[in-house]
Chain A
């Protein structure tokens, strides 16, 4: 029996039972832009950047189960425009000053912005006041850059079993909190070896004393666009 398939922008994409559209697409080395998805975690679908059209209806590619025969659209002008707006929403919501960010050049938000041709600047920035937490000896928590993807929350709970990170507030006041009465990262048991340290797609959770190690021009997304990096045969972990 042959594998079931759906079509993605007209091409057949095979999938295995239980895979979502995004998982199957990446498995077939087809890039669909995303931010909150990570192959090691169950998709939860909050950033919506992977929104596709399934049989004409919008759906998050990462959480929508792949179904044989479905017609999925992704690389259309309409969806690119929608994704551009979502990326701009994230820039508008936080304080993203790329020139002074240690993650610049390796940042997924930035790279997806480049991929989609976002020059920023459509909406009025909200300039929120967010704290910077340098209390941990080895880790800097820079919430101005947090895009609320919850990957650190998931990694700390599911892999590290430490529950260092959680979310509080709601709506635009939703924010990352740490598992300490003082509210300080230094009072949690986060360690640099933790999975939670390795999943932040932006520059919100950083190892101290490790900034700007790769020269400009040689950083991950200087060398190739994210659409190539993410579906390359040997994806970095």
Chain B
């Protein structure tokens, strides 16, 4: 291990800013990050040990205690669950005779759950060590179980297990335009920085990550910010459950994205780019690195990019380690700097004080792809599509109860109903647009439009037909937020867990009207007082569901509150110790 560690540290130039990358490598080699390894890394990087321990303890793909040599994590998004993921996980747990989260006694395997892995169009899905496996079936689980028992390295498992399908179902401006690597760079260099910014302004392009901030405003502020070095960051930490359009863009339109980053570099005068890829997409690491190498060889990265004397720009790949909050741009910057992914206080904003406190633009994958094409075709070309306040197209990830899950690029202003019709949704009860942090639409609202001014969306469209339990959906989302809260601020840290417990109680039929009132109270508090978007949106599913599916709650809850815990279960340890099982050794949960 010592030699491995030295090699890892050398590979990352003993740069403490690459701590997340270093710890990823330690995980890959050792299976967990031991207290000794934390000390070694801290000493080698001249960082406080507590800092390294804090980072190791923050990301869910890092383990500070031994896990199995095979670390299986089932994606636990609601779409995975609808496709039967929990039963498949149970099948595997039974095979290895372990509980969820446990390591088998021989240290061979551990099985757990993880937040959405972005394979909702081909779920249920799982991660095994650094590999993603989609389209799980009982047969595939059987095969994987045998392979684990056989002990061969995951990298040597049959290729077909790791195949990730592409489901681009509808193409428009971005996905349909012919484009070759370097087209955007050449166009941007020909236009010059000021004209690129002007075209972006005229295009009306707004951030595709969900918030919808004007890209031109962001770029102008960064370009004007004083500082010797500027950075362009591509936010490919596509963590919103139900979203997988960036996965398709990076897999099949990578040059569009990398050109977009370079166009941004021209526009703001950046010399350094960072692409932050979520750790759930390990299958994209090698293709991205190959593409970066290829672009360097072709003069599209490095010195004098695109033949422009003095325009130096290169892109570094960073990979996340399981933390939804890092999709928030300032948390992402912290993570890029090798820290815990805690959102920063603003002001100052990243455009002036971003990566390493230098001016930085952080843009979503899709925003950068659009920017590359705007550089080529001009702002008016883009502006001609969409609505007055939402220019261009939106790439949606459609999953759940539809016949054709996949990626659909539609002009802004398209009715949700039209998207669902194309995807083959029948008997729709509800649609979650924009993921758990977005908007829950009832079946009667399908005339609403995908647009910043109506239903904004980072891209997720999860469809639930009438056989689905809406409370179960909300429960899944509540659990997700509790798992992903960074824990920095009180309202979100505690509120997400309280909501998770309250929803679980209500779903189990043990809740009361008071619990429903508390769900509202906690959700509103989080919205009002939380530090970042995670907390302010974490109550959305609860509030939306209560506004639109109130009878489903009312039917499930009692008017008076019952016990907050299982009374009879709470006597089980004492029953065991006393070997009693008489009537007095039990409590009736239903009694008044």
Contacts and interface: CB of A to CB of B under 8 A. Distances in A.
B58 interface: yes
Contact of A86 (B50, B56, B518, B525): B525
A71 B383 CA distance: 39
A47 B488 CA distance: 8
B323 A170 contact: yes
A124 B490 contact: no
Nearest to A149: B490
Central interface residue in B490, B497, B498, by most chain A CB within 10 Å:
B490
A217 interface: no
Nearest to B483: A171
Instruction: Categorize the interface residue count of chain A.
Output: 35 or more
B485 A51 contact: no
Contacts of B347: 65
B531 A46 contact: yes
A181 B485 contact: no
B54 A86 contact: no
A90 to B, nearest CB: 6
Interface stretch (A4-12, A161-169, A199-207): A161-169
Contact of A179 (B48, B493, B525, B529): B48
A171 B484 contact: yes
Contacts of A173: 487
A86 B528 CA distance: 11
B303 interface: no
Contacts of A23: none
B487 A172 contact: yes
B578 interface: no
B49 A179 contact: yes
Given A45-B531, A58-B529, A123-B518, A180 B49 contact: yes
Nearest to A183: B35
Nearest to B323: A170
Contacts of B48: 157, 163, 166, 179
Contacts of B50: 163-166, 168, 177-179
Given A168-B53, A170-B57, A177-B50, A92 B498 contact: yes
Given A82-B528, A123-B518, A181 B490 contact: no
Contact of B493 (A174, A177, A183): A174
Instruction: Categorize the interface residue count of chain B.
Output: 35 or more
A73 interface: no
A38 to B, nearest CB: 16
Nearest to B35: A181
A170 B487 contact: yes
A122 B58 CA distance: 30
A46 B489 contact: yes
Contact of B487 (A47, A58, A124, A148): A148
Central interface residue in B57, B528, B529, by most chain A CB within 10 Å:
B529
B151 interface: no
Interface string B306-331: 00000000000000000100000000
A49 B35 contact: no
Contacts of B494: 89-90, 92-93, 172
B417 interface: no
A58 B491 CA distance: 13
A48 interface: yes
Interface in B443-498: 482-491, 493-498
Interface string A24-68: 000000000000000000001111110100000010100101000
B152 interface: no
Contacts of A174: 486-488, 493
Contact of A85 (B39, B484, B521): B521
Contacts of B57: 168-170, 177
Contacts of A177: 50, 53-54, 57
B149 to A, nearest CB: 32
A140 B522 CA distance: 34
Contacts of A60: 529, 531
A126 interface: yes
B564 interface: yes
A160 B564 CA distance: 44
A204 to B, nearest CB: 16
Contact of A171 (B54, B497, B565): B497
B528 A46 contact: no
A227 B90 CA distance: 55
Interface in A114-169: 122-124, 126, 148, 157, 163-169
Contacts of A85: 521-522, 525
Contacts of A93: 493-494
Given A90-B490, A90-B494, A163 B51 contact: yes
Central interface residue in B50, B484, B528, B531, by most chain A CB within 10 Å:
B50
B394 interface: no
Given A86-B490, A172-B482, A166 B36 contact: no
A223 to B, nearest CB: 28
A168 B39 contact: no
A51 B39 CA distance: 39
A124 B323 CA distance: 28
A76 B528 CA distance: 15
B156 interface: no
Given A48-B531, A171-B493, 4 more contacts: A46-B488, A51-B529, A82-B528, A179-B49
Among all A-B residue pairs, the 7 with the closest Cβ atoms: A166-B50, A168-B57, A174-B487, A163-B48, A89-B494, A171-B485, A124-B564
11 contacts: A48-B530, A63-B345, A82-B525, A86-B491, A86-B525, A163-B48, A170-B485, A171-B483, A172-B485, A172-B496, A177-B57
